[in-house]
Amino acid sequence: MNNFNIRPKDLTDQEYFYGHKACAGCGATIAVRLALKVLGERTYSVLPANCMSAVSFIYPQMAFTTNAIISPFASTGAMLSGVAAGARALGIKDFQTVGFAGDGGTADIGFQALSGAIDRGDDIIYICYDNEAYMNTGIQKSGLTPYGTKTTTSPAGENLPGAVTQKKNMFEIVAAHGIAYAATASIGYPNDFLRKLNKAKEVRGPVFLHILASCPTGWGSKTELTVELAKEAVDSGLWYLAEYENDEFTLNKNPKEFIPVEEYLFKQGRFKHLKEKDINVIIEQRDKKWEKIRKSWL
Protein backbone atom coordinates (compact mmCIF):
# COMPACT_ATOMS: atom_id res chain seq x y z
CA MET A 1 0.00 0.00 0.00
CA ASN A 2 1.18 3.47 -0.84
CA ASN A 3 2.40 5.68 1.91
CA PHE A 4 1.13 9.11 1.13
CA ASN A 5 3.01 10.86 3.92
CA ILE A 6 4.81 13.98 2.86
CA ARG A 7 7.18 15.90 5.11
CA PRO A 8 7.02 19.68 5.24
CA LYS A 9 10.68 19.81 4.25
CA ASP A 10 9.83 17.94 1.05
CA LEU A 11 7.57 20.78 -0.02
CA THR A 12 8.79 22.93 -2.86
CA ASP A 13 10.24 26.37 -2.13
CA GLN A 14 8.26 27.64 -5.09
CA GLU A 15 5.33 29.85 -4.19
CA TYR A 16 2.26 29.41 -6.38
CA PHE A 17 0.02 31.72 -4.38
CA TYR A 18 1.48 34.88 -2.97
CA GLY A 19 1.16 38.64 -3.08
CA HIS A 20 -2.55 38.41 -2.36
CA LYS A 21 -4.63 40.84 -0.37
CA ALA A 22 -6.01 38.52 2.29
CA CYS A 23 -6.51 39.67 5.87
CA ALA A 24 -3.73 39.15 8.40
CA GLY A 25 -3.96 35.69 9.92
CA CYS A 26 -6.15 34.28 7.11
CA GLY A 27 -6.55 30.53 7.45
CA ALA A 28 -7.82 29.93 3.92
CA THR A 29 -4.61 31.23 2.35
CA ILE A 30 -2.69 28.61 4.31
CA ALA A 31 -4.91 25.91 2.84
CA VAL A 32 -4.54 27.18 -0.73
CA ARG A 33 -0.79 27.77 -0.46
CA LEU A 34 -0.13 24.30 0.96
CA ALA A 35 -2.44 22.61 -1.51
CA LEU A 36 -0.69 24.11 -4.52
CA LYS A 37 2.72 23.20 -3.15
CA VAL A 38 1.63 19.58 -3.11
CA LEU A 39 -0.37 19.59 -6.35
CA GLY A 40 2.41 21.35 -8.23
CA GLU A 41 2.78 23.84 -11.01
CA ARG A 42 0.84 21.85 -13.60
CA THR A 43 -2.38 22.70 -11.80
CA TYR A 44 -5.50 24.47 -12.99
CA SER A 45 -7.28 26.15 -10.08
CA VAL A 46 -10.95 27.07 -10.21
CA LEU A 47 -12.31 29.47 -7.62
CA PRO A 48 -15.88 30.70 -7.36
CA ALA A 49 -16.75 34.01 -5.75
CA ASN A 50 -14.99 33.75 -2.41
CA CYS A 51 -12.31 35.40 -0.29
CA MET A 52 -9.53 33.68 -2.20
CA SER A 53 -10.75 34.88 -5.58
CA ALA A 54 -11.42 38.34 -4.19
CA VAL A 55 -7.93 38.77 -2.78
CA SER A 56 -5.93 37.26 -5.61
CA PHE A 57 -7.40 38.21 -8.99
CA ILE A 58 -7.68 41.99 -8.96
CA TYR A 59 -6.43 43.21 -12.32
CA PRO A 60 -3.61 43.78 -12.98
CA GLN A 61 -2.24 42.04 -9.86
CA MET A 62 -2.63 38.29 -10.02
CA ALA A 63 -1.58 36.18 -7.03
CA PHE A 64 -1.64 32.75 -8.66
CA THR A 65 1.52 31.88 -10.57
CA THR A 66 -0.15 28.72 -11.84
CA ASN A 67 -3.23 28.69 -14.06
CA ALA A 68 -6.33 29.91 -12.28
CA ILE A 69 -9.83 31.04 -13.16
CA ILE A 70 -12.79 32.49 -11.28
CA SER A 71 -15.98 30.54 -11.93
CA PRO A 72 -19.52 31.77 -11.42
CA PHE A 73 -20.46 31.34 -7.77
CA ALA A 74 -22.61 28.25 -8.27
CA SER A 75 -20.30 26.60 -10.78
CA THR A 76 -17.05 25.39 -9.23
CA GLY A 77 -17.86 21.73 -9.87
CA ALA A 78 -19.05 22.30 -13.43
CA MET A 79 -16.17 24.50 -14.46
CA LEU A 80 -13.70 22.04 -12.94
CA SER A 81 -15.21 19.33 -15.13
CA GLY A 82 -15.00 21.59 -18.17
CA VAL A 83 -11.38 22.50 -17.59
CA ALA A 84 -10.41 18.87 -17.03
CA ALA A 85 -12.32 17.71 -20.11
CA GLY A 86 -10.92 20.48 -22.29
CA ALA A 87 -7.35 19.79 -21.22
CA ARG A 88 -7.84 16.07 -21.79
CA ALA A 89 -9.30 16.69 -25.23
CA LEU A 90 -6.27 18.76 -26.20
CA GLY A 91 -3.98 15.94 -25.15
CA ILE A 92 -2.51 17.75 -22.16
CA LYS A 93 -1.00 15.20 -19.80
CA ASP A 94 0.01 15.13 -16.17
CA PHE A 95 -2.10 17.93 -14.79
CA GLN A 96 -4.27 18.52 -11.74
CA THR A 97 -7.60 20.34 -11.65
CA VAL A 98 -8.48 21.74 -8.25
CA GLY A 99 -11.34 23.83 -6.97
CA PHE A 100 -11.06 26.07 -3.92
CA ALA A 101 -14.56 26.94 -2.80
CA GLY A 102 -15.73 28.33 0.51
CA ASP A 103 -18.38 26.82 2.75
CA GLY A 104 -21.26 28.75 1.20
CA GLY A 105 -19.94 28.11 -2.31
CA THR A 106 -19.86 24.40 -1.51
CA ALA A 107 -22.71 23.54 0.81
CA ASP A 108 -25.21 26.08 -0.50
CA ILE A 109 -25.08 27.71 -3.93
CA GLY A 110 -22.43 25.39 -5.38
CA PHE A 111 -23.88 22.16 -4.05
CA GLN A 112 -25.66 21.12 -7.25
CA ALA A 113 -22.55 21.54 -9.40
CA LEU A 114 -20.42 19.68 -6.85
CA SER A 115 -22.89 16.81 -6.80
CA GLY A 116 -22.90 16.72 -10.62
CA ALA A 117 -19.11 16.66 -10.86
CA ILE A 118 -18.85 13.77 -8.40
CA ASP A 119 -21.65 11.96 -10.16
CA ARG A 120 -19.77 12.21 -13.47
CA GLY A 121 -16.73 10.63 -11.86
CA ASP A 122 -14.55 13.41 -13.21
CA ASP A 123 -10.90 13.40 -12.24
CA ILE A 124 -10.99 16.56 -10.17
CA ILE A 125 -10.07 17.69 -6.68
CA TYR A 126 -12.60 19.85 -4.89
CA ILE A 127 -11.33 21.58 -1.78
CA CYS A 128 -13.84 23.27 0.44
CA TYR A 129 -12.11 25.68 2.77
CA ASP A 130 -14.55 26.10 5.56
CA ASN A 131 -14.52 29.28 7.62
CA GLU A 132 -18.10 28.67 8.63
CA ALA A 133 -19.81 31.71 7.09
CA TYR A 134 -20.00 33.88 3.99
CA MET A 135 -16.95 35.88 5.02
CA ASN A 136 -16.26 37.78 1.85
CA THR A 137 -19.57 39.61 1.92
CA GLY A 138 -19.47 40.50 5.60
CA ILE A 139 -19.91 37.39 7.75
CA GLN A 140 -23.34 35.98 6.99
CA LYS A 141 -24.63 32.56 7.96
CA SER A 142 -23.98 29.72 5.50
CA GLY A 143 -25.07 26.09 5.48
CA LEU A 144 -21.84 25.23 7.31
CA THR A 145 -22.22 27.77 10.10
CA PRO A 146 -22.42 25.86 13.39
CA TYR A 147 -25.12 26.16 16.01
CA GLY A 148 -24.78 29.24 18.17
CA THR A 149 -22.62 31.26 15.77
CA LYS A 150 -23.24 34.97 15.75
CA THR A 151 -23.14 36.30 12.20
CA THR A 152 -24.62 39.39 10.59
CA THR A 153 -27.61 37.35 9.41
CA SER A 154 -27.87 35.15 12.48
CA PRO A 155 -27.60 37.75 15.20
CA ALA A 156 -27.52 36.74 18.85
CA GLY A 157 -29.82 38.41 21.33
CA GLU A 158 -32.65 37.82 23.73
CA ASN A 159 -34.51 35.54 21.37
CA LEU A 160 -31.86 33.65 19.45
CA PRO A 161 -28.42 32.27 20.28
CA GLY A 162 -27.11 33.14 16.81
CA ALA A 163 -27.42 30.39 14.18
CA VAL A 164 -30.00 27.81 15.20
CA THR A 165 -29.12 25.11 12.66
CA GLN A 166 -26.25 22.63 12.67
CA LYS A 167 -23.46 22.38 10.11
CA LYS A 168 -24.56 20.46 7.04
CA ASN A 169 -22.77 17.15 7.03
CA MET A 170 -20.92 17.72 3.75
CA PHE A 171 -18.36 14.96 4.26
CA GLU A 172 -20.94 12.23 4.56
CA ILE A 173 -23.22 13.76 1.93
CA VAL A 174 -20.31 13.67 -0.49
CA ALA A 175 -19.37 10.16 0.58
CA ALA A 176 -22.93 9.04 -0.10
CA HIS A 177 -22.26 9.79 -3.79
CA GLY A 178 -19.75 6.93 -3.73
CA ILE A 179 -16.93 9.41 -4.39
CA ALA A 180 -13.45 8.05 -5.10
CA TYR A 181 -11.91 9.76 -2.09
CA ALA A 182 -13.14 12.25 0.51
CA ALA A 183 -11.50 13.58 3.62
CA THR A 184 -11.83 16.21 6.28
CA ALA A 185 -8.83 18.23 7.44
CA SER A 186 -7.85 21.26 9.44
CA ILE A 187 -5.15 23.85 8.90
CA GLY A 188 -4.36 23.14 12.59
CA TYR A 189 -3.12 19.69 11.51
CA PRO A 190 -1.05 20.46 8.42
CA ASN A 191 0.73 17.10 8.22
CA ASP A 192 -2.60 15.33 8.03
CA PHE A 193 -3.73 17.79 5.33
CA LEU A 194 -0.53 17.31 3.33
CA ARG A 195 -0.91 13.54 3.40
CA LYS A 196 -4.50 13.83 2.21
CA LEU A 197 -3.49 16.22 -0.58
CA ASN A 198 -0.76 13.85 -1.64
CA LYS A 199 -3.27 11.08 -1.77
CA ALA A 200 -5.78 13.24 -3.63
CA LYS A 201 -3.13 13.82 -6.26
CA GLU A 202 -2.81 10.10 -6.91
CA VAL A 203 -6.47 9.12 -6.77
CA ARG A 204 -8.24 8.83 -10.14
CA GLY A 205 -11.76 10.17 -10.03
CA PRO A 206 -13.39 12.87 -7.94
CA VAL A 207 -11.88 13.92 -4.63
CA PHE A 208 -13.45 16.11 -1.97
CA LEU A 209 -11.32 17.63 0.79
CA HIS A 210 -13.11 19.59 3.46
CA ILE A 211 -10.65 21.69 5.43
CA LEU A 212 -11.49 23.82 8.43
CA ALA A 213 -9.78 27.19 7.94
CA SER A 214 -10.16 29.70 10.73
CA CYS A 215 -10.87 33.32 9.89
CA PRO A 216 -9.85 36.02 12.41
CA THR A 217 -12.08 38.63 10.77
CA GLY A 218 -15.20 36.50 10.75
CA TRP A 219 -14.52 34.63 13.95
CA GLY A 220 -13.53 37.65 15.97
CA SER A 221 -10.27 36.04 17.01
CA LYS A 222 -6.69 37.18 17.36
CA THR A 223 -4.68 36.85 14.15
CA GLU A 224 -1.95 34.85 15.83
CA LEU A 225 -4.49 32.24 16.97
CA THR A 226 -5.48 31.12 13.46
CA VAL A 227 -3.67 27.79 13.48
CA GLU A 228 -4.23 27.19 17.20
CA LEU A 229 -7.98 27.62 16.84
CA ALA A 230 -8.13 25.25 13.89
CA LYS A 231 -6.30 22.72 16.05
CA GLU A 232 -8.53 23.28 19.06
CA ALA A 233 -11.62 22.77 16.92
CA VAL A 234 -10.38 19.21 16.40
CA ASP A 235 -9.13 18.75 19.96
CA SER A 236 -12.46 19.84 21.40
CA GLY A 237 -14.32 17.41 19.14
CA LEU A 238 -16.17 20.11 17.24
CA TRP A 239 -14.38 19.07 14.04
CA TYR A 240 -12.95 15.70 13.18
CA LEU A 241 -10.31 14.29 10.87
CA ALA A 242 -11.54 11.44 8.74
CA GLU A 243 -11.39 9.81 5.34
CA TYR A 244 -13.76 7.96 3.06
CA GLU A 245 -12.64 5.53 0.41
CA ASN A 246 -13.86 2.23 -1.04
CA ASP A 247 -17.14 2.52 0.80
CA GLU A 248 -15.36 2.82 4.15
CA PHE A 249 -14.92 5.60 6.65
CA THR A 250 -11.70 5.98 8.64
CA LEU A 251 -11.24 8.17 11.67
CA ASN A 252 -7.73 9.63 11.64
CA LYS A 253 -7.67 11.09 15.10
CA ASN A 254 -9.60 9.79 18.06
CA PRO A 255 -8.88 12.00 21.07
CA LYS A 256 -9.07 10.11 24.37
CA GLU A 257 -10.37 13.26 25.97
CA PHE A 258 -11.64 16.44 24.42
CA ILE A 259 -10.39 19.79 25.59
CA PRO A 260 -13.30 21.82 27.00
CA VAL A 261 -15.32 23.36 24.18
CA GLU A 262 -15.36 26.67 26.05
CA GLU A 263 -11.60 26.88 25.61
CA TYR A 264 -12.10 26.91 21.86
CA LEU A 265 -15.36 28.84 21.70
CA PHE A 266 -14.63 31.74 24.02
CA LYS A 267 -11.47 32.78 22.19
CA GLN A 268 -13.81 33.90 19.43
CA GLY A 269 -16.09 36.92 19.34
CA ARG A 270 -18.70 34.95 17.39
CA PHE A 271 -19.34 32.69 20.40
CA LYS A 272 -18.81 35.14 23.28
CA HIS A 273 -22.53 35.52 23.85
CA LEU A 274 -23.22 31.81 24.36
CA LYS A 275 -24.97 30.90 27.59
CA GLU A 276 -24.55 27.69 29.53
CA LYS A 277 -27.62 26.14 27.93
CA ASP A 278 -26.22 26.87 24.45
CA ILE A 279 -22.89 25.33 25.38
CA ASN A 280 -24.81 22.30 26.60
CA VAL A 281 -26.56 22.03 23.23
CA ILE A 282 -23.18 22.14 21.49
CA ILE A 283 -21.70 19.47 23.77
CA GLU A 284 -24.74 17.28 23.38
CA GLN A 285 -24.58 17.50 19.56
CA ARG A 286 -20.86 16.78 19.63
CA ASP A 287 -21.19 13.73 21.87
CA LYS A 288 -24.01 12.33 19.79
CA LYS A 289 -21.91 12.70 16.64
CA TRP A 290 -18.84 11.12 18.20
CA GLU A 291 -20.84 8.21 19.52
CA LYS A 292 -21.92 7.47 15.97
CA ILE A 293 -18.43 8.00 14.56
CA ARG A 294 -16.78 5.72 17.10
CA LYS A 295 -19.42 3.10 16.67
CA SER A 296 -19.23 2.85 12.90
CA TRP A 297 -15.88 4.25 11.74
CA LEU A 298 -13.48 2.54 14.12
Partner 1 sequence: MKSNRKFVSGDEAVALGVRLARPHIISAYPITPQTIVVERLADFVEDGSLKAEYMHVESEHSAMAAAMGVSSVGARAFTATSSQGLLHMAECVHYASGARFPIVMMNANRSIAVPWSIYGDQRDSLSMLDSGWIQVYVEDAQEALDMMIQAYKVAENPEVMTPFMVNLDGFVLTHTYEPIELPEQEMVDQFLPMYQTGNKMSMDEPKSLCFSTSPADNQEFKVMQHMAMEGSVDVIRQVDAEYGKVFGRSYHGLTESYRCDDADAVLMTLGSVTGTVRCVVDELREKGFKVGVFKIRFMRPFPKDEVMALGKAVSKLGVLEKNISFGNEGTVFTNVNSALMALDTKVQSKNYVGGLGGRDITKDHIRAIFMDLLNHDRFEERVEFIGMGCEINE
For partner 1, which residue of 1, 24, 89, 298 counts as binding (CB under 8 A)?
89
Of the CA atoms within 13 Å of residue 139, those in its CB half-sphere come to 17
Q: Does 42 bind partner 1 (CB under 8 A)?
A: yes
Q: Quick one: three-class SS letters along 245-280?
A: ECCEEEECCCCCCCCCHHHHHCCCHHHCCCCHHHHH
Q: Does 127 bind partner 1 (CB under 8 A)?
A: no
Nearer Cβ to partner 1 (42/272): 42
Piece in contact with partner 1 (CB under 8 A), picked from 88-96, 174-182, 261-269, 287-295? 88-96
Q: How far is CA 171 from the centre of its chain?
A: 10
The Cα–Cα gap between 164 and 161 comes to 7
CB of 62 to partner 1, least distance (A): 4
Q: Does 23 bind partner 1 (CB under 8 A)?
A: no
The Cα–Cα gap between 31 and 39 comes to 12
For partner 1, which residue of 50, 81, 142, 268 counts as binding (CB under 8 A)?
81
3-class SS at 70?
strand
Q: How far is CA 10 from the centre of its chain?
A: 23
Q: How many residues contact partner 1, by CB under 8 A?
A: 45
Q: Does 54 bind partner 1 (CB under 8 A)?
A: yes
Burial of 46-82, coded b for 16+ CB within 10 Å and e otherwise, reads bbbbbbbbbbbbeeeeebbebbbebbebbbbbbbbbb
Rg (CA), the chain: 18
Q: Does 249 bind partner 1 (CB under 8 A)?
A: no
CB of 84 to partner 1, least distance (A): 8
> Is there a contact between 229 and 268 (Cβ–Cβ < 8 Å)?
yes
Nearer Cβ to partner 1 (82/178): 82
The Cα–Cα gap between 244 and 40 comes to 24
For partner 1, which residue of 1, 3, 7, 90 counts as binding (CB under 8 A)?
90
Nearer Cβ to partner 1 (78/212): 78
Q: Does 69 bind partner 1 (CB under 8 A)?
A: yes
Piece in contact with partner 1 (CB under 8 A), picked from 53-61, 182-190, 217-225, 238-246? 53-61
Interface positions with partner 1 (CB under 8 A): 41-42, 44, 46, 53-54, 56-60, 62, 64-72, 74-75, 77-90, 92, 95, 112-113, 115-116, 119-120
